[in-house]
Structure 1
């Protein structure tokens, strides 16, 4: 069966490609000069950052468009988790259960009554698309589920995640849905700032209560993020997969007083699953000096009118095309220096043409 084709995203604004620092405006690999090479991964784009300071330690195509799959659920959490009472009891409707058959679900039943906290646990542990629909409906207020998706896009804009657009609350593929490794890091950092989110993302198992509706018994659920079970210091994160997106992953871990975050998009499951690729990148990040930075996750209040940081990254950087880097949308690999040079050449040619017109040539 042929793999689904990627829809064309909007053109990548060069200014937006440099958000977080000019070194991040590359479709290839960017790391600090003199540090160890990052591990080989199949992800088409990735980023490693310090969750506390927001310093970007390295990446590959950090601003390249990608398809999110279920890591998009983090944007749902960032948008509506602060506004919902975890103790509120809600009733599941028929429309809440309208999602792609066979896709991930926590097993909510029509007419069942669940706490909002149970919904968040179902979302984070089992990647429940049914839970995503309910939470989006609640977060959307009178706008319902569509209002929840609108809130997600408004939150992306507020965070400065300008290459992110949600079409579904669950991350199931929808028209015009995309994100980037850099944007995912912004979104995940906003999520981890909430104690409730850290508790949900870090839970290894939970109980879904019995329901009078349909005589449904209670049952346990386990977190499907293997980083949490098998990586020392793991704080949690989110996995994702669709045929279109391939494997996506967001994970955070703490070691020796440092807390790092990894995001990756477009990975294959062989020779290693997405979470293991994320773990390898975390290991690499923990091995770097604290000052080995190539950019910054920019808080909304610190972005200027062009959505760029006002200062450059701390250390010298190396930028080069990534070996085997794949992208369905890239028209050309443009490093920051080449981009600036091209703009200068175009400006010079424009002035010369204007001069010739004035001279009658």
Structure 2
């Protein structure tokens, strides 16, 4: 096999298995001018475009292209979110009580801090505490998943009348910088609490300073969470691309399989489209809201990947959608009663 033939063969993998790949290869080789050693960029792009479209079947339909794009979008998001969540398992541990006490002494030494909360190995939870099975059980029937976030350790200084807000904020800032913390943002001030965000060695710290307060309220509160691990970004990108590709291939398989004389073509299509809508709707709600919050707040940390498509806040949409999608695949699985020997025409896409 010549080098040109091998490269054409690789490009023809864009076409579905039931396409006439051998016939296309012969056509391409016959049309190639003498001495050509590799496909042109235009040929490669056209073969990829025509091949990917052929995988969807229904050559005269524009709707199938839309639903294929929606499928890739939704499954790419979910795959990216799952990959990022898996990458979070590489995050460093939270500090124990002794380590947290050392941090407290770094930023405001000599103050009457409460006993720090205990660290947990769980990376995420609700209101900073680890999840329980009862908590997970509430997700399909409520919006409790909206409180899902990073677990934390923290401590407070009880309300008193000697910690002035501006002076305390200055002391905290100096103490953090002196001990290697990078100040990421300082917010608030006149009329509202001052919040200082800092980072060091894979930990994010937040100090809220209220100043003069009554005894029932804290004057200062501190929280420490894990920083987003470096592996999260590449994991999210790879996870999204792989999930989107697999979803495209699976959608193409189902579309071609139900294209000709299939006993459950209509039923499988209706179940699939309704199931996909269940997964699309949370994204339609969440994406603009999260984007607005990011622009409004200017937080140095962006929301977690799954928050952009409304999870787990709108988890009640995931389960019925998953059931409908699974049923659609099940009804599409039987072989059609008859099908043509080849799907589409052997257009090599060289034009």
Question: Which band: TM-score by shorter chain?
Answer: under 0.3
More strand per residue: 1 or 2? 1
User: What's the TM-score, normalizing by structure 1?
Assistant: 0.21
More helix per residue: 1 or 2? 2
User: What's the TM-score, normalizing by structure 2?
Assistant: 0.22
